[in-house]
Amino acid sequence: MRLYGTEIASRLLLGTAQYPSPAVLAEAIRTSGTAVITVSLRREGPGGGGFRDLIAQAGCHLLPNTAGCHSAQEAITTARMARELFGTDWIKLEVIGHADTLQPDPFALVEAARVLCAEGFKVFPYTTEDLILGERLLEAGCEVLMPWGAPIGSGQGLRNPEGLRSMRAHFAGVPLVIDAGIGAPSQAAAAMEMGFDAVLLNTAVAKAADPVAMARAFGLAVQAGRLAHEAGLMPRRDMAAPSTPIFGMAELL
């Protein structure tokens, strides 16, 4: 998988919030096999050298995000600060428009994406499965789209599978990463079987009874789903089809 010209070894992107301890976070990152980890500038805050040391030792690509921003200007300012703090042009762009569902604000999202792309940022926009919004984000300069599976932290999985399939078909040459709403490894595998390029998640691992074991489960599920997609899934049928041919079967007289 290549994102903004960078080869990524794993198709699982992992968030770093809400873990019970730094040690558990470090082991979950290692066990998952992820190559990209996200971090919120607001959670990092000033003087967070210990956390920066932890993520540096993980050896992963860093994807700062603008979590908690509710306007284009707030997200732009946060992205600029993140670039200074973490030394990367990668930014996961979140502009929240609805307090209950945490659905992105499509108008502010495109506005912020246009400004940040013009400033040289490699923007990873958290969006919906709306095709027109996706087109506008690509026109703004984004090379990756990150549609939600369901509201952030809900664990509902792929709530609109037909809409996501349409998005995958429409943007055939664009890297698409399912971001938000994944609650179980089976849901991550389903997204990969549909042809999505990667899955980004946080809460399902961080809040598990055993985050390290859950991180490994998600890593394996993403691998299995991608392998199944590449192998070619059998088509669904309306009726049964025998797996053993009739010809050559014994005849009872």
Instruction: Name the active-site residue from 11, 61, 83, 92.
Output: 92
Q: What is the DSSP string of 236-251?
A: P-SS---SS-STT---
CA atoms within 13 A on the CB side of 35: 11
CA 52 to chain centroid, in Å, comes to 22
- Rg over alpha carbons for the chain, rounded to the nearest Å, is 20
With CA atoms as reference, report the closest residue to 152 among 90, 89, 204, 213.
Answer: 204
203 is annotated as contributing to ligand binding: yes
Any catalytic annotation for residue 92?
Answer: yes
Cα separations (Å) of 17 from 43, 65, 253?
A: 8, 12, 70
Classify 88 as helix, strand or coil. Answer: coil
Give the list of residues 6+ apart from residue 56 with CB closer than 8 angstroms, or none: none
183 is annotated as contributing to ligand binding: no
CA distance 203 to 231: 30
Residues making up the annotated binding site for 1-deoxy-D-xylulose 5-phosphate are 153, 180-181, 202-203
Residues with a catalytic annotation lie at 92
